């Protein structure tokens, strides 16, 4: 293992804590082979949910769902326009955010919570926005500042709400291309069905498996060990970790029970749990291209899936091109296990790192940033496939200009309004990163949190940390360098605003695009530019990376590239 500090070569550990490190090639095959194998049945099930086809066990599932519809007064047959769908999604998320905010501010008044204080207004607001936007950027240490009730009720609860909202938005978005004049569906119906029949069963089963792998699940906030090797007593923080860890990875959430997140041995005990948690993070994002293939054509769906896998392979190659550590790494997993886990986590916008990012070499950090810039290889649950289709629309427009043909997608014309909305979705991301980063440095708030002496220039490493914070917030990722040191009013409020805009503005714009496609004329004709096949995959890959490089390359050059 080559250390970036001294340039020396250290032997990679072959056995740590009694757990044999898995061969890298075998681990890659196990993770991707297992995920792709199970993504087929999951993708077909998701396709049935999108198209309202009968599902396995439809009768009992419908009875349970109908009970919820009656309780909250939903007309399950009502179809929503893109504006109604967006409003319902936003309203639901704002109400849930308000619930989290008040629970955290007054957590000391809750049962069994008198040992902790309520969070400050700015930290509670930041945490509420962070979790409801599927970001889970943490400026607090959960094992020290939150009670078991706070971890279990508001935070674990919203870890179902946030991904369900993103998946529901993807359902509506895809319907825009396969339905005509029938609306985009009903958000409340999609939302309830996703939680009850997709996320909840998977999270429950996954929590049981994580418990078998050594992740604790208890209502006790701590356990005291008497007479340690040093002859003292030691109090160990515990709680319902497995249930939180399960939906954390499955739902692209990323918020850890402990401050060390997936680097903590209670959240990620060994090599098997490290591999299994990568599987959980990948399963739903990779199921969506399969669902897309079922609904719009096998060739189109497989082409998108191959594009995502090739692009993700490029990110992995960049990350593996430079060995990280050993300083700052979790020694149980070694350089490969750490870089693999973190690349999977950050590329799926889960953001749960299994080591300190400061222990990563520049190349892996560039890979992480590139994944967050693109947001669709494979991206988060639901929103990843939406961003990929945005890249498809922009690519078809640019190639159409080159060949002098009107761009079409699935035999429908792409009009100027669609292109403008797609470009706005793309350009919003760098704006939400660059503008706050500039403000942070010009006001001195970045130098303050980075402990830069007065009159001194910020280093490339310090700039990277500040840039990474806003990139993670805008991408709704959640991984970061700053951690609890960013628990200041400026960083709490600024990143909360970025997270809110980075989540909901693109979703609303993408639903507007989908709504416009529901009223377009559909014709049986050969597309001027086929949206499937090797040529399209190559063009889409080049365009995706080229657009990303042209937009973000200056950020990387003065950041991780100069470290």
Write the pLDDT tens digit of every residue in 297-325.
899 999 999 999 999 999 999 999 999 87
217: β partners: 240
d(CA 95, CA 414): 36
Question: CA–CA separation, 296 vs 306, rounded Å?
Answer: 16
Question: Does position 3 have pLDDT exceeding 50, yes or no?
Answer: no
Q: Which residues contact 163 (CB under 8 A, 6 or more apart)?
A: 134, 199, 247, 250, 251, 252, 253, 284, 380, 381, 382
- The CA–CA distances, whole Å, from 545 to 541, 542, 549 equal 6, 5, 6
pLDDT value of position 525: 55
Burial zone of 503 (CB within 10 Å; 0-12 exposed, 13-18 middle, 19+ buried): buried
pLDDT tens string 195-219: 999 999 999 999 999 999 999 999 8
Write a three-state SS string for 202-222: HHHHHHHHHHHCCCCECCCCE
> Which run of H or E residues covers position 308?
helix 298-320
Phi and psi angles of residue 215, each rounded to the nearest 5 degrees, phi first:
-85, 125
pLDDT (0 to 100) of residue 542: 94
Beta strand pairing call for 222-225 and 19-20: unpaired
Predicted confidence band of residue 558 (pLDDT cuts 50, 70, 90) = confident
Output the furthest CA–CA distance in the chain (Å, rounded).
80
Q: What distance in Å separates the CA atoms of residue 541 and residue 521, rounded to the nearest whole number?
A: 29
Give the pLDDT score at 527: 63
Q: Which residues contact 453 (CB under 8 A, 6 or more apart)?
A: none
Distance CA 50, CA 52 (A): 6
C-alpha count within 13 angstroms, C-beta hemisphere, residue 128: 21
Judge whether 432 and 444 are in contact, CB under 8 Å.
Answer: no
- Give SS3 for 185: coil
What does the pLDDT average to over 462-486? 94
- Check residue 351 and give its pLDDT: 93
pLDDT at 18: 36
Q: What percentage of residues in the chain have a pLDDT greater than 90? A: 68
Phi, psi of 412 (to 5 degrees): -125, 140
Q: What is the sign of the dihedral through the CA atoms of 326, 3, 28 and 464?
A: positive
- What is the pairing mode between strands 15-16 and 19-20? antiparallel
pLDDT at 529: 76
Are the C-beta atoms of residues 514 and 172 closer than 8 Å to each other?
yes
pLDDT at 20 over 60: no
Confidence grade of residue 563 (pLDDT, cut at 50, 70, 90): low
- Predicted confidence at residue 454, as pLDDT, reads 74
d(CA 555, CA 444): 19
Under 8 Å between Cβ of 344 and 278: yes
Check whether the bond before 507 is cis (ω within 30° of 0).
no
Residue 524 pLDDT: 64
Determine contact, residues 161/92, Cβ cutoff 8 Å. yes
Within its chain, how far is the Cα of 160 from the centroid? 13
pLDDT tens figures, 384-395: 999 999 999 999
pLDDT class for 406, splitting at 50, 70, 90?
confident
CA–CA gap between residue 330 and residue 360 (Å, rounded):
11
pTM confidence score:
0.92
Q: What are the pLDDT digits (tens) for 24-65?
A: 888 999 999 999 999 999 999 999 999 999 888 888 888 888
Q: Residue-wise over 178-199: b if at least 16 C-beta within 10 A, else e?
A: bbeeebbbbbbbbbbbbbbbbb
Residue 408 three-state SS: strand
Residue 497, burial from CB neighbour count under 10 angstroms (0-12, 13-18, 19+): middle
Q: Which phi and psi angles does 75 have, rounded to 5°?
A: -90, 100
pLDDT in tens, 224-282: 877 777 777 888 888 999 999 999 999 999 999 998 999 999 999 998 999 999 999 99
What is the pLDDT, as a whole number, of residue 125?
97
Least confident of 70-74, 155-159, 377-381: 70-74
Whether the pLDDT of residue 13 is over 70: the answer is no
How many whole angstroms separate alpha carbon 161 and alpha carbon 131? 9
Q: Is the pLDDT of residue 11 over 50?
A: no
- Residue 454 DSSP SS3: coil
From CA 560, how far away is CA 562, in angstroms rounded? 5
């Amino acid at each position: 293992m080559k250390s970036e500090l001294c340039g020396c070569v250290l032997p990679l550990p072959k056995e740590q804590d009694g757990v044999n490190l898995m061969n890298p090639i075998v681990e890659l095959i196990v993770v991707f082979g297992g995920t792709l194998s199970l993504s087929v049945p999951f993708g077909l099930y998701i396709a049935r949910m999108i198209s309202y086809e009968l599902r396995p066990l439809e009768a009992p599932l419908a009875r349970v769902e109908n009970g919820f519809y009656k309780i909250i007064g939903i007309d399950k047959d009502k179809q929503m326009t893109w504006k109604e769908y967006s409003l319902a999604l936003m309203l639901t998320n704002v109400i849930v955010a308000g619930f989290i905010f008040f629970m955290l501010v007054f957590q000391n008044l809750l049962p069994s919570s008198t040992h902790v204080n309520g969070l400050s207004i700015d930290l509670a607001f930041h945490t509420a926005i962070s979790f409801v936007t599927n970001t889970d950027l943490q400026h607090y240490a959960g094992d020290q500042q939150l009670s078991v009730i706070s971890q279990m009720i508001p935070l674990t609860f919203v870890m179902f709400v946030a991904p369900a909202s993103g998946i529901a938005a993807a359902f509506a978005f895809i319907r825009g291309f396969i339905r005509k004049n029938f609306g985009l569906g009903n958000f409340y119906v999609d939302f309830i069905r996703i939680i009850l029949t997709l996320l909840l069963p998977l999270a429950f089963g996954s929590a049981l498996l994580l418990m078998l792998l050594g992740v604790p699940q208890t209502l006790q906030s701590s356990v005291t060990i008497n007479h340690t090797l040093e002859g003292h007593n030691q109090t160990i923080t515990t709680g319902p970790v497995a249930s939180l860890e399960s939906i954390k990875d499955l739902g692209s959430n990323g918020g850890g029970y402990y401050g060390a997140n997936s680097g903590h041995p209670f959240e990620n005990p060994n090599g098997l749990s490290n591999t299994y948690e990568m599987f959980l993070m990948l399963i739903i994002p990779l199921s969506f291209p399969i669902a897309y293939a079922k609904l719009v054509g096998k060739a189109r769906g497989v082409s998108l899936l191959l594009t995502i896998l090739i692009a993700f392979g490029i990110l992995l190659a960049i990350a593996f091109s430079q060995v990280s550590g050993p300083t700052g790494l979790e020694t149980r997993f070694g350089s490969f296990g750490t870089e693999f886990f973190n690349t999977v986590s950050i590329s799926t916008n889960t953001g749960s790192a299994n080591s300190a990012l400061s222990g990563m070499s520049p190349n892996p950090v560039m890979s992480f940033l590139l994944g967050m810039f693109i947001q669709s290889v494979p991206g988060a649950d639901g929103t990843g496939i939406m961003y990929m289709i945005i890249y498809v629309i922009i690519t078809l427009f640019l190639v159409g200009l080159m060949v002098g043909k009107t761009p079409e997608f699935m035999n429908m014309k792409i009009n100027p309004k669609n292109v403008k909305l797609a470009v706005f979705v793309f350009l919003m991301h760098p704006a939400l990163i660059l503008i706050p980063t500039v403000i942070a440095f010009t006001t001195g708030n970045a130098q303050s949190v980075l402990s830069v002496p007065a009159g001194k220039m910020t280093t490339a490493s310090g700039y990277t940390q500040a840039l990474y914070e806003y990139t993670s917030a805008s991408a709704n990722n959640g991984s970061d360098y700053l951690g609890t040191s960013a628990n200041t009013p400026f960083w709490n409020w600024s990143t909360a605003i970025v997270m809110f805009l980075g989540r909901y503005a693109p979703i609303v714009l993408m639903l507007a695009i989908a709504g416009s496609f529901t009223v377009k004329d559909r014709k049986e004709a050969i597309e001027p530019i086929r949206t499937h096949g090797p040529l399209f995959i190559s063009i889409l890959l080049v365009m995706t990376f080229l657009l990303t490089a042209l937009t973000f390359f200056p950020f990387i050059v003065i950041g991780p590239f100069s470290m």
